[in-house]
Amino acid sequence: MVFSSMVFLWIFLPLVFVLSMLVRRPKYQNLVLLVFSLLFYAWGEPIYIFLLLTSVLLNWGFGLLIDRFRERAKLFLVLDVAANLGLLGYYKYTNFLLNTLRPLFPGLPETHVILPIGISFFTFQAMSYVIDLYRGKCSVQKNLLNMALYISFFPQLIAGPIVKYKDIDDQIMERSVTAEKIASGFRRFVYGLGKKVIISNLIAVSVDKLFALDMENMTGAMAWCAAIFYTLQIYYDFSGYSDMAIGLGRIFGFEFLENFNYPYISSSIKEFWRRWHISLSSWFRDYLYIPLGGNRKGKSRTYLNLFIVFFMTGLWHGASWNFVFWGLYHGFFLIIERMGFSKVLEKSKVFAHIYTILVFIVGWVFFREESMKKALAITARMFTPWTVTQSLPSLGTMVSTQTIIAVILGILGCGLIQKIFTCGKLSVIGAKWKNSAAEALWLTAVLFYSILLLANNTYNPFIYFRF
């Protein structure tokens, strides 16, 4: 089930909201939320509910063992991490590994292991609890149902943000659900729904057409449109989902940390990763980069640690070499910035912005296109547009007026409008807009148009569900 579906909007969400409001005590409200969270996950893939429950029991059990037998805590931590990564590795990387090795070992069997939805997210979330418990940064959760709710809570279950247990452990049993929070949560949810349905979905139709072109028919303009459009599509798709998740959490009294902070206005790739998918970046920082030594063991070791982190970041996103390349590609620019290029960027904000935008736009081509050969060809076409002078299909047949409007709105909403109305004299207007009658009318229009598009069966996938 996805947030931007009619079933969720008209049946699931109203039902769980009303029942949770009728049962105001957190103890019983948690049970309602847990039941609906399991139903939410089982809606599309009922068989994998057992995998989710296995993850809950596994991490809850090892948490109890770590708390009870501190002298053997490290052993239990290693076993827990190995078990979690073993499950993730089997379901996510078996096909990739065997397909990679099969040219060297032709006798390897054919496999078709299906990737359970959201396994990367709930696995990392569960591991953070056990690791932080071992480090003494949170207390043990002895109630199995509360642990199940933490791992399976439907707002962030299948596409994040990755919520660390230490950030919400107090909220599980003690949280306030006020009218202000509910209103703020619905406000955030509608903004996210609009991002997803009105901008990302409309752009996605043209993106699919452009990337499906044979290279013989792709002009330089088409290559640039494909890359730029996908840059906007993935941002509004994923940040829209995160907005909806944060809003839903707030409706039920939970405060999740932000997952995006206008990454496309960054002036370096280092800043980009401080603003993009913040929950994943902070996860790798806390549980991989710092344990490896971070930047405390000299420059060479720092560069190696960054290489490892971004290799794993790419691999986390998908079992394919294009994702590995995408991760290492970003790691490369992070390393050269650390080696001194950041000083060059500091001399000119204009150059810094242009450089950063070019880097992540080209990077998204490799993220989107699974064929490394075609991704390289598209990139080459972007920077050598004269190699093809005409195309069998015209650009106008693949880019509708709706797409153009969505692209314009997308560019303005990436941080430009927000920056204008939070600085100087215009910040007064921005402050007055929030929670005003005008904003309420705007949100009503966004909700109405989003539902209208969904009712017309508009293209509606979520990109990060497959990770």
Could you say which of 347, 369, 389 is where a domain stops? 389
In a domain, 159, yes or no: yes
Query: Is 70 exceeded by the pLDDT of residue 452?
Result: yes
Question: What's the mean pLDDT when you consider all of the chain?
Answer: 91
Spot the catalytic one: 277, 317, 330, 353. Answer: 317
Could you say which of 389, 414, 448 is where a domain stops? 389
Query: Is 60 exceeded by the pLDDT of residue 459?
Result: no
DSSP state letters, 111-173: --PPPPTTHHHHHHHHHHHHHHHHHTSS-----HHHHHHHHH-GGGTTT-----HHHHHHHHH
Confirm if 62 and 72 have CB atoms less than 8 A apart.
no
In a domain, 407, yes or no: no
Q: Are residues 172 and 309 both part of a single domain?
A: no
Confirm if 171 and 255 have CB atoms less than 8 A apart.
yes
Could you say which of 337, 366, 389 is where a domain stops? 389
d(CA 113, CA 91): 6
pLDDT tens for 110-140 read 888 888 988 999 999 999 999 999 999 999 9
Identify the pLDDT of residue 266: 95
Residue 331 belongs to what domain range? 264-389
Q: Are residues 269 and 171 both part of a single domain?
A: no
Name the DSSP class of 217.
Answer: G
DSSP state letters, 43-67: TT-GGGHHHHHHHHHHHHHHHHHHH
Query: Is 80 exceeded by the pLDDT of residue 422?
Result: no
d(CA 336, CA 275): 19
Confirm if 125 and 162 have CB atoms less than 8 A apart.
yes
Of the chain, the percentage scoring pLDDT greater than 90 comes to 70
Q: Are residues 171 and 268 both part of a single domain?
A: no
> pLDDT category, 456, cuts 50, 70, 90?
confident
Identify the pLDDT of residue 65: 97
> Which of 102-111, 226-235, 326-335, 421-430 comes out lowest in average pLDDT?
421-430
In a domain, 193, yes or no: no
> pLDDT category, 229, cuts 50, 70, 90?
very high
Q: Are residues 48 and 165 both part of a single domain?
A: yes
pLDDT tens for 312-348 read 999 999 889 999 999 999 999 999 999 999 999 999 9
Q: What is the mean pLDDT of residues 394-408?
A: 89
Q: Are residues 37 and 155 both part of a single domain?
A: yes
Q: What is the mean pLDDT of residues 406-428?
A: 83
d(CA 384, CA 417): 33
In a domain, 157, yes or no: yes
Of the chain, the percentage scoring pLDDT greater than 70 comes to 97
pTM recorded for the entire structure: 0.93
- Name residue 251's amino acid: I
Identify the pLDDT of residue 418: 79
What's the Cα-to-Cα distance from 72 to each of 65, 66, 69, 75, 363, rounded to whole Å?
8, 7, 6, 5, 44
Lookup: tokens for 447: 């909700």
**Residues 319, 462, 215, CA angle at the centre, nearest 5°?**
65
pLDDT tens for 7-54 read 889 999 999 999 999 987 888 899 999 999 999 999 877 889 999 999
In a domain, 11, yes or no: no
Q: Are residues 290 and 166 both part of a single domain?
A: no
353 carries an active-site annotation: no
In a domain, 347, yes or no: yes
Identify the pLDDT of residue 464: 64
d(CA 361, CA 359): 6
Number of structural domains the chain divides into: 2
Identify the pLDDT of residue 390: 66
Q: Are residues 168 and 272 both part of a single domain?
A: no
Instruction: Region of 319 please: left (phi>0), alpha (psi -120 to 50) or beta.
Output: beta
Q: Are residues 51 and 154 both part of a single domain?
A: yes
In a domain, 245, yes or no: no
